[in-house]
């Protein structure tokens, strides 16, 4: 089994619901970071995102994880109209221990993860070793709203 990390974000519709459903569908997920509300980086003007990082203990390759990410996005009704535009769900392969991939549709480790607080701050909660030496480039705000379990429970109770 291999340690891997996926970044998940949503800024359309029921943001927490899309994240909750996606995480629930990842059968090899072993931990989820806190939930962060973040400013969009790049793209058109749009609403703030909710972001989390999921840790997996998996036997899937980076390619298999990309297929999982795309299936999760499709199940959330994601439509790709504008690059870096608003989305119901965005799921990225961030890191797979021991794997480096450089292909047109997949680069692992994620090529821009260290440029983005909305990736590195939640990732740092789960993997301090990958956070070491990182400094915030100051692009976009990143505010922790609470722990994953707490916010999922509140969402299920209908409390915002």
Q: Tell me the sheet residues that pair with 110.
A: none
Strands 101-103 and 90-96: unpaired
| Catalytic residue set | 78, 87, 90, 92
Q: Which residues contact residue 109 at a Cβ distance below 8 angstroms, ignoring those fewer than 6 apart?
A: 94, 95, 100
Asked whether the predicted pLDDT for residue 160 surpasses 60, the reply is: no
Give the burial string for 41-61 (b: 16+ CB within 10 Å, else e).
eeeeeeeebbbbbbbbebebb
pLDDT, mean of residues 117-136: 88
pTM over 0.85: yes
Is the distance from CB of 108 to CB of 99 less than 8 angstroms? Answer: yes
Alpha-carbon gap, residue 118 to 142, rounded angstroms: 6
Asked whether the predicted pLDDT for residue 19 surpasses 90, the reply is: yes
Tokens of 74: 């499709």
pLDDT at residue 84, as a whole number? 64
pLDDT at residue 27, as a whole number? 95
Q: Which of 47, 37, 51 is nearest to 13 (CA)?
A: 47
Categorize the per-residue pLDDT at 45 as very low, low, confident or very high, splitting at 50, 70 and 90: confident
């Amino acid at each position: 089994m291999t340690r891997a990390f996926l970044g998940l974000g949503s800024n359309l519709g029921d943001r927490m619901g899309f994240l909750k459903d996606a995480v629930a569908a990842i059968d090899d997920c072993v931990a989820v970071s806190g939930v962060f509300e973040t400013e969009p980086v790049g793209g058109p003007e749009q609403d703030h995102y909710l972001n989390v990082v999921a840790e997996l203990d998996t036997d899937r390759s980076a390619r298999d994880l990309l297929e999982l990410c795309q299936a999760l996005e499709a199940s959330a009704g994601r439509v790709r109209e504008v690059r870096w535009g608003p989305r119901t769900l965005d799921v990225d392969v961030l890191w797979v221990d021991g794997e480096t991939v450089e292909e047109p549709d997949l680069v692992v480790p994620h090529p821009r993860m260290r440029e983005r607080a909305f990736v590195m701050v939640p990732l740092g909660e789960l993997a301090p070793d990958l956070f070491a030496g990182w400094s915030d480039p100051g692009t976009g705000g990143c505010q922790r709203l609470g722990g994953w379990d707490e916010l999922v429970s509140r969402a299920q109770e209908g409390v915002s």
